[in-house]
């Protein structure tokens, strides 16, 4: 009878975290491979095609022989400097297919893998052809995005999660109110304005679920009029955390490009055209509820026809192509994170930034912001389970390591400690 019990897909099940981590490792490996392809003159379409192939090849290597779904949680997209949303041109759109990368532009690469419906998405921004030193507004943009991202991750942790000291001090920390969405935006604006940049309007972080990258809760940064988020992160959740920054005013507009990125919704509708039904059938079979590009369909041209009624009937959502209103460069980062009793861990995210490479005459001076940036993301590994061989005491290591690395050190603990929950 135990076989009839529903499967636990929460982080309390170690298998869930393993699947997230496997998807994350694939996403990060492919991200680095795709970044190497992003050179001046490289065609965006060809980079996206190679990125998707790399994702498919890596996913095929894991969980062989297991009856679980696996695949791409977000197709490879490469967004030019002024584009805000993920961009993925089609082979059949001749002009778009010829679009190439330019030297020194800020390019956003986003992609992801999924194992058993647990998706890990990652996005990084690179400066095309950047040498060992980046200066000027590109340096300001990259540093503003980096520090805003680090601040956001720390503000997403539930209050008192990593509190130290006496029981009274811990209780006091846990009794603090979590950062409201408006307070989060307010503090992030202090960071980016230090570099004379602005947050990108309506940058959104989502709660992740199984087969769902836009679950019931969301945080909206720099919300536009009439737009607001819903809910805050809690222990046991996985989130997709996005940071968008512009050297301009941060305002966005729809670009004239054809929407090529789509996603199945849970809406049902009786499609009338055979071409529409064929397209929807392929989407359901191959992509589930994860985003896909029309160029991934077996017949791209037929897909362009079939998708029209699917979007009109609400069974498929089209992602508009959005860009900056003032034509200023935009930078984006995307992390997939888990929140456990140990803190916040980056499951998938851009590699640690070498801040020494970016030379800016600007810096963060706000004391409240600087204090938050000093906080760790997770408990240092080895708080327990280290009764190994006795050895001579060594001097403690200096606590000068970059804070962002601490959470990643903690990953190993999560697998075993989550067994106990």
pLDDT tens figures, 188-235: 999 999 999 999 999 999 999 999 999 999 999 999 999 999 999 999
Name the β-bridge partners of 123.
110, 334
Confidence of residue 380 (pLDDT cuts 50, 70, 90): low
What is the structure's pLDDT at 160?
84
User: CB 65: neighbour CB atoms within 10 A?
Assistant: 4
User: Is the Cβ–Cβ distance between 134 and 145 less than 8 Å?
Assistant: no
What is the structure's pLDDT at 131?
87
User: Is the Cβ–Cβ distance between 262 and 86 less than 8 Å?
Assistant: no
The tally of CA atoms less than 13 A away on the side-chain side of residue 47 is 31
Q: Any residues with CB less than 8 A from the CB of 127 and at least 6 apart, and which?
A: 104, 105, 106, 107, 134, 138, 142
Q: Which helix (H) or strand (E) holds 137?
A: helix 136-155
Q: Any residues with CB less than 8 A from the CB of 230 and at least 6 apart, and which?
A: 216, 217, 218
Rounded mean pLDDT of 131-152? 97
Tokens of 266: 């849970």
- How far is residue 92's CA from residue 75's CA, in Å, rounded to a whole number? 18
Tokens of 23: 């998807």
User: Is the Cβ–Cβ distance between 359 and 134 less than 8 Å?
Assistant: yes
Domain ranges of the chain: 16-255+323-383+401-416, 261-318
What is the structure's pLDDT at 174?
81
What is the structure's pLDDT at 4?
66
Name the β-bridge partners of 348.
336
Tokens of 77: 């997209």
What is the structure's pLDDT at 421?
34
Rounded mean pLDDT of 68-81? 97
Tokens of 160: 């008192």
Question: Ramachandran region of residue 104, left (φ > 0), alpha (ψ -120 to 50) or beta?
Answer: left
pTM of the predicted model as reported, rounded to 2 decimal places: 0.88
Architecture in CATH of 16-255+323-383+401-416: Alpha-Beta Complex (3.90)
Pairing of strands 70-79, 203-208: unpaired
Q: Which helix (H) or strand (E) holds 305?
A: helix 300-312
Which letter does DSSP use for residue 78 in this model?
E
CATH topology of domain 261-318: Arc Repressor Mutant, subunit A (1.10.10)
The tally of CA atoms less than 13 A away on the side-chain side of residue 330 is 31
- How far is residue 25's CA from residue 278's CA, in Å, rounded to a whole number? 33
pLDDT tens figures, 40-52: 999 999 999 999 9
Name the β-bridge partners of 317.
263
Res. 63: pLDDT tops 70 = yes
């Amino acid at each position: 009878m135990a076989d009839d019990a529903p499967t636990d897909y929460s982080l309390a099940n170690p298998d869930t975290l393993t699947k997230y981590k496997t998807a994350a490792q694939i996403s990060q490996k492919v991200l680095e491979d795709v970044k190497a392809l992003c050179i001046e003159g490289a065609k965006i379409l060809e980079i996206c095609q190679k990125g998707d192939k790399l994702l498919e090849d890596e996913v095929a290597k894991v969980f062989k022989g297991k009856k679980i779904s696996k695949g791409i949680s977000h197709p490879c997209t490469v967004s030019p400097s002024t584009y805000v949303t993920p961009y993925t041109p089609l082979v059949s759109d001749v002009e778009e297919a010829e679009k190439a990368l330019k030297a020194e532009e800020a390019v956003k690469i986003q992609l992801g893998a999924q194992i058993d419906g647990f998706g890990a998405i990652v996005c990084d921004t690179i400066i095309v052809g950047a040498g060992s030193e980046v200066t000027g507004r590109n340096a300001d943009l990259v540093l503003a995005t980096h520090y805003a991202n680090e601040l956001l991750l720390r503000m997403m942790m539930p209050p008192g999660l990593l509190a130290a000291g006496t029981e009274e001090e811990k209780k006091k920390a846990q009794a603090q109110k979590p950062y409201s969405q408006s307070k989060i935006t307010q503090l992030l604006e202090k960071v980016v304005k230090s570099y004379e940049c602005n947050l990108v309007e309506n940058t959104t972080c989502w709660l992740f679920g199984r087969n769902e990258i836009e679950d019931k809760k969301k945080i909206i940064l720099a919300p536009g009029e009439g737009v607001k988020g819903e809910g805050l992160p809690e222990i046991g959740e996985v989130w997709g955390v996005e940071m968008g920054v512009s050297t301009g005013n941060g305002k966005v507009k729809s670009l004239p490009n054809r929407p090529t990125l789509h996603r199945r919704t849970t809406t049902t509708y009786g499609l009338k055209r055979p071409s529409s039904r064929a397209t929807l059938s392929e989407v359901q079979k191959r992509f589930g509820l994860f985003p896909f590009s029309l160029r991934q369909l077996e017949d791209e041209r037929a897909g362009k026809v079939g998708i029209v009624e699917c979007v009109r009937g609400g069974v498929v959502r089209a992602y508009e192509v959005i860009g900056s209103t003032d034509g200023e460069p935009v930078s984006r980062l995307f992390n997939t994170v888990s929140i456990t009793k140990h803190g916040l861990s980056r499951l998938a995210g851009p590699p640690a930034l070498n801040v020494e490479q970016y030379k800016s005459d600007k810096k963060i001076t706000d004391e409240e912001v600087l204090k938050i940036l000093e906080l760790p993301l997770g408990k240092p590994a080895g708080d327990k389970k280290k009764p190994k061989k006795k050895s001579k005491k060594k001097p403690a290591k200096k606590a000068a390591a970059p804070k962002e690395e601490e959470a990643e050190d903690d990953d190993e603990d999560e697998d075993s400690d989550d067994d106990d929950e």
